[in-house]
C-alpha cells in the first residue's frame, strides 16, 4: 500500500469526475494523538479528500494564533516528527487511504536529516509536503530526493506573489497549487478578499494543476462559494476552533465542510 501515492490517485480521480477537493488541516497531537487519528478516520468517512497534517513547531512563520496555540499544546504533550510518522504508518496499516500531506517547516526536517526525513516520511505513507520556508531556489538535493521517492512538494502562491514568481511556483508545484487567499497568517475570517476570483483566474491561466484556496475559510457557505471558482479549499483554523469544543463538534463541522465543497462538484473553473 505504501508504494501508492494517494494524493496522485485522488487528484487523477477528481479531474476525471470534475470533483472539487476538500482539504482539512489538523495539528498533529492536538488535543492528543488519539484524537488526531480519530479525526483523520472520521474525515475520510465524511468524504474529505485530503488531510493537511500540521507537524507542530515552536516558531511557525505562517500560522496564526489559533494554530500556534494548538501547536504549543501538542508540543507540550510530546508530539514529534517520529510520533507523526508512527501515526501515519498505523493509519495506513488500518487501511486508511486518504491522502496525507505534511505541513511543517525546514528546521525539524534539518534536525531529522533531510534524506532520512524523506525516506521515513514516504515509508510511513505520507504523500506530499507543504513547507512554507522552503524556497524553490534552495535545498535542491532535498527536492531531488523527494522527487525520487515520489513525494510531492506542494507550493504556496500568495496574493503578493509577482506573476513571474507565481509562474515558477506553479510549474514546480507537485500535486496541486495552494493559493493563499488572504494577506497575513492563517486564521478564520468573516469575509474573504474581493479580489479572490480575479486572482484565481489569473493563476488558472498559468497552470492546469488543481488550485486549492486556503487561509481564512471559516464557514460551509464560504467553502461552497470558493469551490465554484477554485478546484477546492483548505480549511484549517476553523477546524481547530471546533476541536476546542470537543471532537464530536469538530467531526460534525468537518462533515458539513466536505458536503459544502462537494455541492460545487461538476462546476467547471474558467
Catalytic residues: 52, 63
**Sequence-separated contacts (24+) of 141-150 with Cβ below 8 Å:** 141/114, 141/115, 142/109, 142/114, 142/115, 142/118, 145/114, 145/115, 145/118, 146/118, 146/174, 147/174, 149/118, 149/119, 149/122, 150/5, 150/8, 150/122
What are 167's three cell numbers?
A: 509562474
Question: CA-to-CA distance for 48 and 204, rounded, in angstroms?
Answer: 23
Please give the Cα distance from 101 to 94 (Å, whole number).
18
Q: Are 132 and 169 in contact (CB under 8 A)?
A: no
At residue 125, the 3 state secondary structure works out as coil
Task: Give the full edge-to-edge strand order of the sheet including 50-54.
Answer: 152-153, 128-130, 100-103, 50-54, 21-27, 232-235, 211-214, 177-180, 155-157
Amino acid at each position: 500500500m505504501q508504494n501508492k501515492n494517494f494524493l496522485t490517485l485522488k487528484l487523477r480521480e477528481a479531474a476525471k469526475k470534475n470533483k472539487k477537493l476538500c482539504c482539512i488541516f489538523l495539528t498533529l497531537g492536538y488535543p492528543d494523538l488519539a484524537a488526531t487519528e480519530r479525526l483523520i478516520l472520521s474525515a475520510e468517512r465524511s468524504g474529505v479528500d485530503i488531510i493537511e497534517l500540521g507537524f507542530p513547531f515552536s516558531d511557525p512563520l505562517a500560522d496564526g494564533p489559533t494554530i500556534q496555540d494548538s501547536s504549543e499544546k501538542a508540543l507540550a504533550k510530546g508530539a514529534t516528527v517520529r510520533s507523526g510518522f508512527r501515526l501515519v504508518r498505523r493509519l495506513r496499516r488500518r487501511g486508511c487511504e486518504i491522502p496525507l500531506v505534511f505541513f511543517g517547516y525546514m528546521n525539524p526536517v534539518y534536525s531529522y536529516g533531510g534524506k532520512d526525513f524523506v525516506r521515513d516520511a514516504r515509508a510511513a505513507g505520507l504523500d506530499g509536503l507543504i513547507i512554507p520556508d522552503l524556497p524553490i531556489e534552495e535545498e535542491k538535493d532535498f527536492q531531488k530526493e523527494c522527487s525520487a521517492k515520489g513525494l510531492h512538494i506542494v507550493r504556496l502562491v500568495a496574493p503578493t506573489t509577482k506573476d513571474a514568481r507565481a509562474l515558477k511556483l506553479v510549474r514546480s508545484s507537485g500535486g496541486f497549487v495552494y493559493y493563499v487567499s488572504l494577506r497575513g497568517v492563517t486564521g478564520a475570517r468573516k469575509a474573504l478578499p474581493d479580489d479572490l476570483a480575479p486572482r484565481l483566474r489569473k493563476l488558472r491561466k498559468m497552470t492546469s494543476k488543481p488550485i486549492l484556496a486556503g487561509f481564512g475559510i471559516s464557514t460551509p457557505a464560504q467553502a461552497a462559494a470558493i469551490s465554484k471558482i477554485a478546484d477546492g479549499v483548505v480549511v484549517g483554523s476553523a477546524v481547530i476552533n471546533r476541536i476546542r469544543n470537543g471532537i464530536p463538534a469538530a467531526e460534525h463541522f468537518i462533515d458539513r465542510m466536505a458536503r459544502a465543497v462537494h455541492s460545487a462538484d461538476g462546476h467547471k473553473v474558467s
